[in-house]
Structures are given as C-alpha cells and as structure tokens.
Amino acid sequence: MIKPKIFCIVMLFLLLVGCKQEGEMDREEIETTATNVAVQYLKVEENIDFVATDLEFADGDGVDIVSVNGHVKDNKKKKMSVVIDYSNDYEVQAVGRD
C-alpha cells in the first residue's frame, strides 16, 4: 500500500522539477532570440551596428515584453534600447535612444 503513495510522490516531484527546467530553457531562448532580433533590426532598418549589453523582462501578468539594452558599436556613449514583444513573433515595439 505504501509503494503507490511513494510512486505518486516521486512522479509529482519529477513533474514539478521538469516544469521549472523547461521554463528556464524558454527564458534563455527568449533572451537569445530577442537579442538577435534587436541587433538585426537596427542593422537592417537603421543601419546601426548595435552591441547588446543586457536584457530586462517587463514585470506583470500577461506582459510579454523584453527590453534589449546596449550601445552603438565603437561608441559606448550612444546608448539604445529595443523593446520587443516576444509573444507576437518577436515584433519590435519601440527603439529608444539616450
């Protein structure tokens, strides 16, 4: 009688651990893809070589926006941010300049 309970507990634990790891992999994938989209967008649309330095996820439920921050290549004083909606096929929402 104890074996089915132990089996259920172990399966539940594995399910929860597996879900967390999947979420982390998704976040890494979003970071990589959003960074590539930002770099390519600025290169193609504005002829700017962009160096991404960090990335910020917007807080809130149902908010699927990430801000890729960085600077113009060879000019760290010209800072820029690219806002990307990753739930909408990584659509660029805005470009900000400092």
Predicted pLDDT at 13: 52
Q: Which residue has the higher pLDDT, 4 or 12?
A: 4
Structural domain total, the chain = 1
| Angle made by CA atoms 88, 90, 48, in degrees to the nearest 5 | 145
Calculate mean pLDDT across residues 17-27.
57
Q: What is the pTM of this model?
A: 0.74
Q: Could you give the CA distance from residue 67 to residue 85 in angstroms, rounded to a whole number?
A: 9
Q: Which tens digits make up the pLDDT trace of 51-93?
A: 999 999 998 777 899 999 999 999 999 999 999 999 899 999 9
Q: Name residues whose C-beta falls within 8 Å of residue 64's C-beta, 6 or more positions apart in sequence.
A: 58, 85, 86, 87, 88
Residue-range definition of the domain harbouring residue 59: 2-97
Q: How confident is the model at residue 96 (pLDDT cuts 50, 70, 90)?
A: very high
Average pLDDT, the chain: 83
